[in-house]
Amino acid sequence: MVVFNFATAQRILFGAGRIAELGVLAAEAGQRICLVTGRHSLETSGRLNAIREMFEQAGLDWVHVRIGHEPTVEWVDEQAALAREFKAEAVVAVGGGSALDAGKALAALLANGGAALNYLEGVGRGRPLLKPSLPLIAVPTTAGTGSEATKNAVIGDRANTFKKSLRSDGMLPRVALVDPDLTADCPPAVAAACGMDALTQLLEAFTSRRANPMIDALAGMGLGLAGELPRLMADPGNDHAREALAMASLLGGIALANAGLGAVHGLAAPLGAIFPIPHGVVCASLLPSVIRHNAKKAARIGDSWLLTKYCAAAAQLVDMNQAETENDEETLEDMLDASEDNSDALAITLALCEYLRDLGARLGIPRLSHFGLRPEDFPRIIAEARGASMQTNPVDLDDVDLAEILAESL
């Protein structure tokens, strides 16, 4: 019997040029708007002035808050106080994952009152967010986090001692407005890391313990689209590839909000809290080793379901990158055609791991040791990695497994 729940943003608007609708959408959400953006990129591109003009034409009042880092409890509480004083009726967040998470956190606190630590998972007071957030319009300018379609906001603290989530179905945006053109100004290194984040989220949701037929459909399609990442990095002006990555990111956000993630993101939370490592870089570094450990454990316990899922993911990624295989070795596609049992499926999955490791290298993604991670840090990372994402990893990984994954990712 199949039983599952599924929730996503109330409205999803997707397509090039749809940023032009933001003023009308904001007016539908409220008269007094808290606008959340990154620090400089929108202004540099000229898009911030365009947004202000749209708000003026719609007759809106707004207060503008900027965030140039990942949100912290201190920043969220300070900005929530300003927005309350302004009497904000809705939140519009435009930017990368940090800006969108900041917007979601503010919308939740403005509706529920109090400080962020009242509600933060794991380190807070454990109170539920009982009221739906203020109306929120989420507009991503990167293709990777899928934050425009998720029901949580990742928040740390200034002392870099934790990175945890505010989480509630009521935090889902009222509108997710995804305009692929907004990602055109993204710097190449950021675009590469964000693309690997999207690919990781799709793979982890696809193989999550809570995956269901809806997730299979959405994440399966998203993996094929994420396979356009090498093409986008080679040709940043490729409109088709840019659109594909924007859609992959959106589908990844929808999938993870409903199925959860896995060990990559379980480890990424403490790694990102302790070290100055971009989230997408963490994902790209950890993903091949996590899949390898998951697959080997699945083979030992006879979990053909998980190995079949990894083979399906390989088929999607290989199909999109078939033209890039220029050697005489057996390709993943050849192995898929020959697959008959778990040993074949394990071989395919291990080849997928090597493909992903090579992809990270080709994209210039640095290894974790570049940011100061050392073996003596592993016990602390592992001790703090047993959060929600680790609970939906498709197999149980012990501390030895996690230490080996970190060592292989240095």
CA distance 74 to 52: 27
User: Would you list the DSSP string of 120-157?
Assistant: -TTTS------SPPSPEEEEESSSS--GGG-SEEEEE-
| Domain limits for position 240 | 188-408
Tens digits of residue pLDDT in 140-183: 999 999 999 999 999 998 887 888 899 999 999 999 999 999 99
Per-residue pLDDT tens over the stretch 298-321: 999 999 999 999 999 999 987 544
138 with 283, same domain?
no
The C-alpha R_g of the chain, in whole angstroms, comes to 21
Co-location of 140 and 222 in the same domain? no
Domain closes at, from 162, 182, 202: 182
Of the three residues 142, 158, 182, the one that is the final residue of a domain is: 182
* Among candidate residues 54, 64, 130, the one with its CA nearest the CA of residue 102: 64
- The whole-number pLDDT of residue 340 equals 52
DSSP string, 342-410: HHHHHHHHHHHHHHHHHHHHHTTPPPGGGGT--GGGHHHHHHT--SHHHHTSSS---HHHHHHHHHHT-
Whole-prediction pTM value?
A: 0.93
**Are 212 and 175 in the same domain?**
no
* Residue 6 resides in a domain: no
Q: Is 123 exposed, middle or buried (0-12, 13-18, 19+ CB in 10 A)?
A: middle
Vertex 66 angle, CA 117 and 107, to 5°: 45
Amino acid at 236: P
What is the per-residue pLDDT for 247?
98
Return d(Cα 245, Cα 64) in angstroms, integer.
29
* pLDDT for the residue 160: 77
First to last CA, the chain: 42
Q: In the prediction, which pLDDT does 2 show?
A: 83
Rounded to the nearest angstrom, the gap between the alpha carbon of residue 332 and the centroid of all alpha carbons in its chain is 26
Which parts of the chain have pLDDT scores under 70?
A: 319-342
Q: Does the residue 170 lie in any domain?
A: yes
One domain, residues 178 and 192: no
Closest CA to 164 of 110, 117, 111, 113: 117
Tokens of 306: 């998980």
